[in-house]
Amino acid sequence: MSSKLKKLNQKQVRRVADLAKLTLTAKEIAKFTAQLSTILDHFQSLAEVNTAEVESTSQVTGLRNVTRQDGKPGRCLASAEALADAPAKHQGYFKVKGIFEKK
């Protein structure tokens, strides 16, 4: 039924690791090369399943636009109250350490 995909090579796994900003050892690269090839083979098997008669669906519960009423109408914090104990703030906002590298 399934025609096996070409196995991934270690160069491809290193490239994926680089894109994901992962540092892998040679042992991990070898391990993940085999594992990822197996995973791709499973996806190939799924791609071969005939789904022509299967209706598309985005969820299976049948629920639509389910929301709840607020249990206790209360007050929201004013900006000054929310920022009162903030360790750092700037122009009415919480100031946090950046997570992106500067280039």
Residue 38's closest CA among 1, 7, 2? 7
Distances (CA, A) of 6 to 44, 62, 87, 94: 11, 40, 54, 50
Supply the pTM of this predicted model.
Answer: 0.47
Domain 10-47 has CATH 1.10.20: yes
Pick out the chain residues at pLDDT < 70.
1-5, 71-73, 103
Please give the backbone phi and psi of residue 77, each rounded to the nearest 5 degrees, phi first. -70, 140
Q: How much is the pLDDT for 50? A: 93
Distance CA 29, CA 71 (A): 52
| Coil vs helix vs strand at 38 | helix
The domain locations on the chain are 10-47
Distance CA 48, CA 41 (A): 11
Q: How much is the pLDDT for 103? A: 62
pLDDT in tens, 64-83: 777 777 766 677 888 899 99
